């Protein structure tokens, strides 16, 4: 019986295209509890190989595969060259499935489950309306000083609303900051931002030079093994002009990276 393997998660490196198949890297954590006396297992890196036809049917792209949660079913292989398989284990994929997000599950819920909620809300609205009518009847003979107090209470409530909106917006901004931190944590040390490769402007003095082929190949091997550059590129903040790291720029172009890690140099 051949060994079967199942993986869940997102791609940890860029999508690599070959003649009849595509490849990308994934990573899974081992069991949190190991038998007594043994060391705990660490992360295991996998390189997944998928036929182009099967991959195209999923609707995934080079960018979306880094964010979508996917399910891989296949079996391990030892016949892939080391250059094409930077992961610790190579996996021949027989089936690839995009797993739905929580928001998608809520949208796909049957209408029967939603209808009781609507009925409950309708009944609550009806009870609220009856209570309001009763309160209006009781408050009809109220004197003018009481009406003034009600106006002042309304003003206080209107002043409180903007403050509540600001408090609600604060957590969303914190979430965005946390998401940016997680994306940058997978990048080389010192990375300030991820910049689209096509937005970088290369000066002519760099284009006239040719980086050392041996050093360039070492960086290419590092990217294939880890899925990222070894250092960020230095970019001028306003103009997006490349100031340092032309070799890494050439490597990013060679492996067809959509985004590259950068550190900004501000104009004086």
pTM of the model: 0.39
Q: Which residue matches tokens 């016949």?
A: 79
Q: What three-state secondary structure class fits 116?
A: helix
DSSP state, 200?
-
Tell me the DSSP string of 5-31. Answer: EEEEE--SS--EE-SSEEEEEEEEE--
pLDDT digits (tens, 9 = 90+) for 117-139: 555 555 566 666 666 666 665 55
Asked whether residue 141 carries a pLDDT value surpassing 70, the answer given is: no
Task: Characterize 176-193 residue by residue with b for buried, 16 or more Cβ atoms within 10 angstroms of its Cβ, and e for exposed.
Answer: eeeeeeebeeebeeebeb
Q: Which domains does the chain have, with CATH numbers?
A: 5-104 (2.40.50.140), 193-265 (3.90.1530.10)
**Which residues, 6 or more positions from 80, have their beta carbon under 8 angstroms from its beta carbon?**
47, 49, 90
The arithmetic mean of pLDDT across residues 252-263, rounded, is 91
Residue with more model confidence, 32 or 95: 95
Q: Is the pLDDT of residue 155 over 80?
A: no
pLDDT for the residue 217: 93
- pLDDT for 104 equals 60
Interior angle at CA 13, CA 8 and CA 15, nearest 5: 95
Q: Which residue has the higher pLDDT, 130 or 98?
A: 98
Cβ(230)–Cβ(219) below 8 Å: yes
Instruction: Read off the pLDDT of residues 228-248 as tens digits, 9 standing for 90 and up.
Output: 898 999 999 889 999 999 999
């Amino acid at each position: 019986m051949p060994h079967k393997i199942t993986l869940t998660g997102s791609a940890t490196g860029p999508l690599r295209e070959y003649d009849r198949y595509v490849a990308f890297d994934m990573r899974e954590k081992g069991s949190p509890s190991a038998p007594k006396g043994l060391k705990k297992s660490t992360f295991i890196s996998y390189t997944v190989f998928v036929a182009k036809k099967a991959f195209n049917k999923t609707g995934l792209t080079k960018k979306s595969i880094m964010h979508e949660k996917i399910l891989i079913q296949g079996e391990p292989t030892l016949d892939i060259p080391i250059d094409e398989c930077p992961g610790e284990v190579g996996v021949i994929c027989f089936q690839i499935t995009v797993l739905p997000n929580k928001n998608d599950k809520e949208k796909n819920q049957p209408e029967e489950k939603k209808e009781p909620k609507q009925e409950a809300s309708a009944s609550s609205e009806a009870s609220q309306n009856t209570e309001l009518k009763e309160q209006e009847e009781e408050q009809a003979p109220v004197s003018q000083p009481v009406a003034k107090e009600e106006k002042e209470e309304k003003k206080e409530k209107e002043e409180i609303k903007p403050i509540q909106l600001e408090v609600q917006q604060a957590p969303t901004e914190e979430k965005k900051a946390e998401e940016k931190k997680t994306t940058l944590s997978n990048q080389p040390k010192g990375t300030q931002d991820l910049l689209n490769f096509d937005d970088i402007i290369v000066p002519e003095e760099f284009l006239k030079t040719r980086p050392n082929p041996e050093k360039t190949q070492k960086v290419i091997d590092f990217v294939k093994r880890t899925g990222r550059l070894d250092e960020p590129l230095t970019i001028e903040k306003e103009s997006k002009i490349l100031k340092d790291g032309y070799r890494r720029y050439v490597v990013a172009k060679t492996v067809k990276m959509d985004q590259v890690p950068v550190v900004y140099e501000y104009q004086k």
